[in-house]
Amino acid sequence: MKDLTEKTIRGGFAKVCAQAANFGLRIGALMVLGRLLDPKDFGLVGMVTAVIGVLHLFKDFGLSTATIQRKTISTEQLSTLFWINMLVGGVLGLLSLILAPAIAAFYHEPRLVLVTSVLAAGFLFNAAGVQHSALLQRQMRFTTAAVIDTIALVISIAIAIGMAFAGYRYWAIVAMTITQPFVSTIGCWIATAWIPGPPARRSELRSMMRFGGTITVNGLIVYIAYNLEKVLLGRYWGATAIGIYGRAYQLINIPTENLVGATGGVAFSALSRLQDDPVRLKSYFLKGYSLVLALTIPITLACALFAGDLIRVVLGPKWHDAVPIFQLLAPTILIFAMINPLAWLLFALGMVARSLKVALVLAPLVIVGYIIGLPHGPTGVALAYSAVMTVWAIPHIAWCVHGTVISLRDILTTVSRPLVSGLVSAGLAFAAQLSYGDLLSPLPRLLLGGSLLLAVYLGMLLYVMKQKSFYLDLFARLLKRPPAEEQVLISA
């Protein structure tokens, strides 16, 4: 168990560092591409990805999660899962090609036929790396996986910026979208040095297929709930509207994707190995949950307070219409940081059916919100979406933890310390902004306000809330010598 603790902490640190780098890279890419391309360029690609993104949910059929969650898995089973993924990827790519004319007709935009056809290749690129990536997670080789992700992102961004400079407009975004999974898959193959064998009929995969299938259906429902508004905005308000909404939405989701992504893979792998040890599982989960919230809350407040300056600095002045959308979506950063980690718990415990039931209730609520907000354009949709998610947060948490080793009181106690610290720091930062706001340009104002917010937040959290010892202990563990090379967790 001590070895698992060290692997988890060091793996989490590696993932956080990599995701911090990825955060910077994504922000940098947005800053450059936002100035080289128009909202309509982003909107054209966004129209397609909002639709075929549904198909991407089936690219691994939940089998990567099943691979990580299993206590033991054979090479024969892995090989069979690989070929299942390739078959699914090929079918989805072909289906995208077939749907291309219909997508173009739906949006009244003929250019989408070719865009959809090119993006279809991404299904095969993703499918080829699903099990190799899962194998790295299963082996808890998080540093290796993080390096691969970062390299893939750097290459894809470089290609996109080069094409944008050359005048290829929306094709730069298309190239970025398909290059990243291609490079990532190559990296995973090299890192694992595993070549799949032929599929086997008697590899006892029924339970894994059922587990993965439930996860896929859950993901499908959640995807529809969180992305239908983009389809509706593209259909009724056009490419420019979805381009503006989409960039604000993307910028809002970068913190959640990076922070939860940094800890999620590590936490799920560790929790899956502790599913028979409820005391340690509870301790692991709450520590990871506390870390995610401590990092997320100041980011949420900064996005809400400094929305105008952030948009101007990151995307440029031509994206000023994204400011109210960005500000309205800001609360969802914290909401998703509160509810997404609960999936680690449910999946690690094999409680995927409950996760599916939660999604079945959430989806109609969010969709009704979209419909109410749609007549008011992107701003109305953003307000409705944020309001529904905020109201839903506590019932969601209570339902997910019911009957597990985690209680609602545990969650609320964990949230309270960083939240109170954040509200105090936000109040002081807001007051300061009122006093000097008109005297500074956007970048200095953003840097000064953000620094003040962070300084007060850290003082509150570490000293007033007495969390200093927790983070010092975490830092001390990170400085320890890393454990010996991890052994492959595959049983013959």
Q: Which residues of the chain have pLDDT under 50?
A: 1-2, 481-492
The residue assigned the tokens 């009181």 is: 409
Q: What is the pLDDT of residue 57?
A: 65
Q: What is the pLDDT of residue 429?
A: 92
Q: What is the pLDDT of residue 298?
A: 94
Contacts of residue 416, Cβ cutoff 8 Å, sequence gap at least 6: none
Q: What is the pLDDT of residues 119-172, one digit of tens each?
A: 999 889 988 988 888 888 887 787 888 889 899 999 999 999 999 999 999 999
Report the C-alpha gap between 385 and 228 in whole angstroms.
11
Q: What is the pLDDT of residue 286?
A: 86
Q: What is the pLDDT of residue 271?
A: 65
DSSP at 463:
I
Tokens at residue 387, please?
A: 């309001």
Identify whether 84 is part of a domain.
yes
Q: What is the pLDDT of residue 490?
A: 34
Q: What is the pLDDT of residue 205?
A: 65
Identify whether 488 is part of a domain.
no
Q: What is the pLDDT of residue 481?
A: 44
Identify whether 166 is part of a domain.
yes
Identify whether 432 is part of a domain.
yes
The total number of structural domains that make up the chain: 1
Report the C-alpha gap between 230 and 241 in whole angstroms.
9
Q: What is the pLDDT of residue 69?
A: 63
DSSP at 70:
-
Identify whether 240 is part of a domain.
yes
Identify whether 486 is part of a domain.
no
Q: What is the pLDDT of residue 483?
A: 43
The parent domain of residue 98 ranges over 2-479
Report the C-alpha gap between 183 and 151 in whole angstroms.
8
Q: What is the pLDDT of residues 88-123, one digit of tens each?
A: 889 889 999 999 999 999 998 999 999 999 999 988
Long-range contact set of residues 363-370: C-beta below 8 Å, sequence gap at least 24: 363/221, 363/222, 363/224, 363/225, 365/392, 366/225, 366/226, 366/228, 367/224, 367/225, 367/228, 370/228, 370/229, 370/232
Torsion of CA 296, 301, 307, 312, to 10 degrees: -60
Tally the C-alpha atoms within 13 A of residue 270's C-alpha that lie toward its C-beta. Answer: 27
Q: What is the pLDDT of residue 208?
A: 67
Q: What is the pLDDT of residue 75?
A: 81
